[in-house]
Amino acid sequence: MNADSVFAGALPQTYETLLVPLIFEPYAEDLARRVGAMPIARLLEVAAGTGVVTRALAASLPESVSIVATDLNQPMLDQAAARGTSRPVEWRQADAFQLPFDDGAFDAVVCQFGVMFYPDKARAHAEARRVLKPGGTYIFNVWDRLEENDIPHVVTTALASVFPENPPRFMARVPHGYYDRDAIRRDLTKGGFTSEVQIDTVAARSRAASARDAAVAFCHGTPLRSEIEARDASALARATDAAATAVEERFGRGPVDAGIKALVIMTRRE
Q: Cα(229)–Cα(3) distance, rounded to whole angstroms? A: 12
Please tell me the predicted confidence (pLDDT) of residue 180.
Answer: 98
pLDDT band, residue 4 (cuts 50/70/90): low
| Whether residue 91 has pLDDT greater than 70 | yes
State the average pLDDT over residues 15-34: 97
Q: Cα(192)–Cα(128) distance, rounded to whole angstroms? A: 10
CB-CB neighbours of 53 under 10 Å: 30
Please tell me the predicted confidence (pLDDT) of residue 2.
Answer: 61
State the average pLDDT over residues 88-110: 98
Q: Cα(135)–Cα(165) distance, rounded to whole angstroms? A: 50
pLDDT 10s digits, 224-236: 999 999 999 999 9
Percent of the chain topping pLDDT 90: 96
Tell me how many degrees the CA angle 188-192-198 measures, rounded to the nearest 5: 40
Is the CA virtual torsion 3, 206, 95, 177 positive or negative?
negative
Q: Which residues pair with 198 in a beta bridge?
A: 266
Number of residues assigned to the chain:
270
3-class secondary structure per residue, the chain = CCHHHCCCCCHHHHHHHHHHHHHHHHHHHHHHHHHHCCCCCEEEEECCCCCHHHHHHHHHCCCCCEEEEEECCHHHHHHHHHHCCCCCCEEEECECCECCCCCCCEEEEEEECCHHHCCCHHHHHHHHHHCEEEEEEEEEEEECCHHHCHHHHHHHHHHHHHCCCCCCCHHHHCCCCCCCHHHHHHHHHHCCCCCCCEEEEEEEEEEECCHHHHHHHHHHCCCHHHHHHHHCCCCHHHHHHHHHHHHHHHHCCCCEEEEEEEEEEEEECC
Q: Whole domain around residue 235: which residue ranges?
A: 3-268
State the average pLDDT over residues 113-122: 97
Residue 17 carries which side chain, given as an amino acid letter?
T
| Whether residue 189 has pLDDT greater than 90 | yes
Q: Which residues pair with 70 in a beta bridge?
A: 92
Question: Model pTM?
Answer: 0.95
CB-CB neighbours of 256 under 10 Å: 25
Domain containing residue 142: CATH number: 3.40.50.150
| Whether residue 9 has pLDDT greater than 80 | no
Number of structural domains, the chain? 1
Q: Cα(88)–Cα(73) distance, rounded to whole angstroms? A: 20
Q: Which of 5-14, 160-169, 204-213 has the lowest mean pLDDT?
A: 5-14
Q: Give me the chain's average pLDDT, please.
A: 96
pLDDT band, residue 258 (cuts 50/70/90): very high
